[in-house]
Chains A and B, each alone.
Chain A
Amino acid sequence: FSENLQCQALPEKVKIVEVGPRDGLQNEKTIVPTETKIHLIDMLSVSGLPVIEATSFVSPKWVPQMADQVEVMKGICRQPGVSYPVLTPNLKGFQAAVKAGASEVAIFGAASELFSKKNINCSVDESLQRFDEVMKAAKEAGVPVRGYVSCVLGCPYEGKVAPEKVAHVAKSLYSMGCYEISLGDTIGVGTPGSMSEMLEAVSREVPVNALAVHCHDTYGQALANILVALQMGISVVDSSVAGLGGCPYAQGASGNVATEDVVYMLHGLGIQTGVDLSKLMDAGAFICRSLNRKTNSKVSQATCKL
């Protein structure tokens, strides 16, 4: 066993994409007041995070939690050097987002046909066609677009998902013009085994420096999966402050991996993130108080002095 292999394989810096205010809150049962959302984003903005996914321009009919998308976008105090991408499922959402001041957007594809149909009512290919419109408009407006692929390590309906299918969707999004593709283990079933198999397939089609991992911690595997991804050259990790957001497919289970726990691991590995862990924990404590719930972050739960 090579002693040095593990150390040499890791990136020096990792970019954290904070998805708590969008992916996190979207999966919380309580509707969060607009001011609370704004305050959360403002606290996160000063913690050193380079990217904070602020809201989602989907129809409030489908996602009531994000109905205040325009007010949130207009109300936040944008820090220089921080990006605030928003979800835009279609052209209409894109136009509304730009009008509200968005300077970066994100689109969502799925590696599973059934999930695509159940989640956004169309096939994977149809969804990519929809996004084509968004991509064209974004290019014209000079707005960067991030692509998400969900169900990369398993689907709640189809079960196993072929790595080649993930690679196909990732490649399509990248070819269409997405600058980065975030690969999401939507139901958290992945392990270092399936993560590495999937990343090998995808990295043949999309350069590794354009890839990110979005791991859910539903089965406690997120940090191990992230470690393996880092060892394979990935240097962008999505996470959610306080591990906000449950799993709609596993009652009572956790969803997003907690940003605090990711940052703790990365710093322990000597990897730079630019994030101030204590300010991040303050933001997590704030939102948990507002939601009247306990944090999902183990780092926050522990009070051990070291």
Chain B
Amino acid sequence: MGFRNIIGRRLGLGLVRRRKPFSTATCDGDGNGNAKSINLYSAINQALHIALETDNRAFVFGEDVSFGGVFRCTTGLADRFGKARVFNTPLCEQGIVGFGIGLAAMGNRAIAEIQFADYIYPAFDQIVNEAAKFRYRSGNQFNCGGLTIRAPYGAVGHGGHYHSQSPEAFFCHVPGIKVVIPRSPRQAKGLLLSCIRDPNPVVFFEPKWLYRLAVEEVPEHDYMLPLSEAEVIRQGSDITLVGWGAQLSVMEQACNEAEKDGISCELIDLKTLLPWDKETVEASVRKTGRVLISHEAPVTGGFGAEISASIVERCFLRLEAPVARVCGLDTPFPLVFEPFYMPTKNKILDAIKATVNY
């Protein structure tokens, strides 16, 4: 039992394995404190409660956050911390982020919510030109490190063009901000607390499909998970799979299927996309010699392209097969065609086999 616990902790298994008796995260206060089985939006809610509790200059604002938000992530905050700290903004994303930058520049923790990641584009200028470059252009006199922007991203089954997008790649192209994406409730709470307390502006994308669907044991106390550290959530020796967010559960299913065919897959959760943990991925590729990246965003110019180029640069001679990418198609996120667009388990499985048999 003890041995399995150690292995379990090293493996850091995620939500699909929740039946197993060992804990999931690698470095939280495991063993300590009570853990309750909750879903993703409750975990995020807990993180926000703790963030506002522990720092009385932390603020949460955005469209409709006061009553709890359209996904209930901000329930109870306004009642507990008051309207001066938890408040609604009008419908103006550019205004929300700009305002957040200013608030953060005065040393506060500004936690801004963009209701859907699809709506983040009016704020794109503020994030890229104002938030990301503030510290740099002021010679470190000012910074907006206290800014955290939270946005639900990703497909949800029926979201259509404007409620399903994954815009992470746009933001990974901006030095000066961090981009973080959790895969499960336990990860989300720890990562969100780290993001809020990180001295750099962070864009935190939450996989909306998992808000209710993902349920996990989450410790009730205050804990943080490190940023820019990828996690190997499944050990393997034949091929490395890299992903983040909701896509990981799809990849895990593909790995299980591949195992039946004797292919041993190593699955890595990147967690932080910018700056991303090249060392962990590289070490894994050096072990397996093959890599496959999967994300929901369209394949051309997606973040998989960056990972692919970096790995090829660093591990060219070790690679046994070309880097595979199984991603969304190069079309706008469709309405009725969503099942065709998505990088499904079968597409990933196919690509695993093609790569292994190259």
Tell whether A pairs with B.
no
Interfacial residues, chain B to chain A (CB-CB below 8 A):
none
